[in-house]
Amino acid sequence: MILRGARLFDGTGFRDGLALAVEGDRIAALREDDGAGETLPGGILAPGFVDLQVNGGGGSMLDGAADAERIATICAAHARLGATGIMPTLITDTARATRAVIEAGIAAAEARVPGFLGLHLEGPHLDRRRAGAHDPALIRSMTGSDLALYRNAARRLPALIVTLAPESATPGQIAALAEAGAIVSLGHSDCTAAEAEAAFAAGATMVTHLFNAMSPLTHRAPGLVGAALDGAADCGLIADGLHVDPVALRIAVAAKRRGRMFLVSDAMAVAGTHLDGFTLGGRRILRSDGRLTLEDGTLAGADLTLPQAVALMVREGAAAPEAALAMASRIPADVIGRADLGRLAPGARADLVWLGDDLSLRGVWQGGGRLV
- What percent of the chain has pLDDT above 70? 100
The answer to whether residue 92 scores a pLDDT higher than 90 is: yes
- Residue 364, SS3? strand
How long is the chain? 372
The answer to whether residue 128 scores a pLDDT higher than 90 is: yes
Q: What is the pLDDT at residue 29?
A: 98
CA distance 204 to 162: 9
H-only helix segments in 95-170: 95-110, 144-156
Which residues on neighbouring strands pair with residue 63, listed in sequence order? none
- Identify the CA nearest to 150 among candidates 117, 183, 198: 183
- Identify the CA nearest to 160 among candidates 280, 335, 301: 335
| CB contact at 8 A, 196 and 116 | no
Distances (CA, A) of 82 to 57, 131, 263, 285: 13, 30, 13, 24
Q: What is the number of other CB atoms lying within 10 angstroms of the CB of residue 23?
A: 12
Q: What is the pLDDT at residue 282?
A: 84
Enzyme catalytic residues: 266
- Span 239-254, average pLDDT: 97
- List the domains of the chain with CATH numbers: 2-45+352-370 (2.30.40.10), 49-335 (3.20.20.140)
CA distance 144 to 283: 30
- Identify the CA nearest to 113 among candidates 163, 82, 74: 74
- Span 279-298, average pLDDT: 91
Q: Give pLDDT tens digits for 303-359.
A: 999 999 999 999 999 999 999 999 999 999 999 999 999 999 999 999 999 999 999
The answer to whether residue 281 scores a pLDDT higher than 90 is: no
| CB contact at 8 A, 46 and 330 | no
**pTM of structure:** 0.97
Beta carbons within 8 Å of 243's beta carbon, 6+ residues apart: 209, 211, 212, 266, 299, 302
